[in-house]
Amino acid sequence: MKRLSSLALLPGIVILLAAGVSAADKSSLKPPPGSSVAIIVFEDLQCPDCARAAPLLAEAARVYKIPLVRHDFPLNQHPWAFDAAVLARFFDTQSKKLGDEFRETVFKNQPQITKENLRSFAEKFGAEHNVQMPFAIDPRGELAAKVQADRALGNRVGLEHTPTIYVVSNRKTGEPFVEVVDRSQLFQLIDQMKKEAQPAASASKPAVKKKS
């Protein structure tokens, strides 16, 4: 896959120009509703560099109090990455916090995990968090479909590697998202995007009925 040719350089960062991504892809790289800035990462749970990046992304999200949106992008050359993503989706169904904790635990234990012991690793994690795993965690293939949808999104965006990290904003002019090429620039990049972002839309309050 060829790297996108439409790149504009800023100090320490690379901004993807709108011409390099279709409108549909661009619309997906935005903060969740109610947020002005967010971090988006496409990651592979068997990817060593994803494991190295994960603590930094979690720290940035915590320090700036912004969402960290994770997309699964399991690479074909990693034999247990897809199954691990499905297991993470199972724990997501219990709570997003638990799903994220499972991912972080996988990253910390990558060298010890194999395709053969992945299930027992997940069962141990579940037992430690009072979650009993069913024999078939995805009988209808719904969790796998979500992983496939994330991978399809990454393909449309034109990913070449994992992790691929973006800082996204709700700004109305210029580029609403930037790819983080140099992770040492992550905090600086978030600062820049927060300055340029629009105020986050607050949830509308229900009208108060006046007493007659």
Check residue 92 and give its pLDDT: 97
The rounded Cα 22 to chain-centroid distance in angstroms is 20
Check residue 172 and give its pLDDT: 81
Question: How does strand 164-169 pair with strand 177-179?
Answer: antiparallel
Amino acid identity, residue 37?
Answer: V
d(CA 179, CA 23): 17
Contact 35, 147 (CB under 8 A): no
**10-residue averages of pLDDT along the chain (212 residues):** 38 36 60 94 98 98 97 97 98 96 98 98 98 95 98 91 95 86 97 87 48 42
Check residue 201 and give its pLDDT: 63
Q: Is 154 helix (H, G, I), strand (E, B) or coil?
A: helix
Reported as a single tens digit per residue, the pLDDT across 128-141 is: 999 999 999 999 99
d(CA 178, CA 167): 5
CATH number of 7-196: 3.40.30.10
Check residue 158 and give its pLDDT: 86
Radius of gyration, alpha carbons of the chain? 19
Write out the two tokens for 73.
Answer: 């992008």
Question: How does strand 13-16 pair with strand 37-43?
Answer: unpaired
Strand intervals (E) in 29-102: 37-43, 68-72
Write out the two tokens for 97.
Answer: 């916090």
Q: Where do the structural domains in the chain lie, given as residue ranges?
A: 7-196
Check residue 180 and give its pLDDT: 96
